Amino acid sequence: VTVDSIYDACDEDLIGEEPAPSEYQKGIKQSVWEAAGSMERVCMTLAMATAPVNCDWLSYGIDGYDEQLREAAEEQAEEEAAAAEALREAELSIKESSGKPSPHFQATMIAQMNVDTGRVVHIWPSISTASQSLGISVRSLTTAIKGDSSTSEVGGFRWAKFTPHKSQEKKKTASEKDADAVLYDESKAYKNENKLRDYQTSGLNWMIQCWHHRRSCILADEMGLGKT
C-alpha cells in the first residue's frame, strides 16, 4: 500500500464531483511523504479529523504488520503471566513463612533434562525462576511441560514437571536410636569434680553419634587442634 493509493481510495469515497486537492490535503500528503522517507510501503491509519472531507476511517496494513502485532500481544501476555506467577509465589512464600500453606497456589517445580541422555541437569523451584535465570519465556516453558508443542525441547533442554517423592524413612536400629540420644550433659561431674563446658559436651555427643553411625569424624578444639 503506497501513499498515493491511500489518497486514491479517499478520492473514491468523495460524494459528487471530485474536487481538486486543497492545500490542506496537499499538506497532509507532503507530511506523510516526509515521514515515510525513502520507504516504498507505509502502514498508517487516518482519523476522520485529519482525513479529506467525506473520507471514511481508513486502516491499511502491510505484509508482516499483523505478525508484529501478534508477537507484541504474545510478549505482553508472557510478561503478564510472569508477573502473576511471581505474585502467587510471593503469596506462597508469605504463607509458608507464617506456617500456613496457601490452599490456592503451589509453585510448579520443573526438571531441566539433557536432550540425549534424559538425565536431570537441574531442578527449578518454579517456571518463573527458570525463565528469569535462563532467559526463556514462560510461555515456551509452559508449552513444553504441557506437551502442547511439537517438541518438548526448549533452550537446548527437555522439560517436565517435577514432583518430589517423600523418601521412606529407614527404620533405625537400637544402636542408632541410642546414638541419637543425648548421652552426656554438662551437669555430670567427672574426675576431681570437673565438668565439661557446653561446647565440649556437644562435641563429645557428636563424636559418639558418629561412632555409632560408623562415620569418620574430626573434632577441632578451641585452639584448632584436630582430634580424630
pLDDT tens digits for range 184-201: 666 667 777 777 777 777
d(CA 89, CA 217): 40
Confidence tier at 114 by pLDDT (50, 70, 90): confident
Among 129-133, 157-161, 175-179, name the one with the lowest average pLDDT. 175-179
Q: Is residue 73 predicted with pLDDT exceeding 50?
A: yes
Q: Which secondary structure element, helix H or strand E, spans residue 227, and what is its range? A: strand 226-227
Look up cell 587442634; give the residue. Answer: 225
Among 21-25, 138-142, 157-161, 173-177, name the one with the lowest average pLDDT. 173-177
Confidence tier at 74 by pLDDT (50, 70, 90): confident
Q: Is residue 216 predicted with pLDDT exceeding 50?
A: yes
46 touches 58 (CB < 8 A): yes
pLDDT score, position 59? 43
pLDDT score, position 57? 41
User: Is 159 exposed, middle or buried, given 0-12, 13-18 or 19+ CB atoms closer than 10 A?
Assistant: buried
Average pLDDT over residues 174-180: 58
pLDDT score, position 49? 43
pLDDT score, position 195? 79
Residue with more model confidence, 4 or 123: 123
Q: 59: which strand partners?
A: 45
Confidence tier at 19 by pLDDT (50, 70, 90): low
The whole-chain average pLDDT of the chain stands at: 66
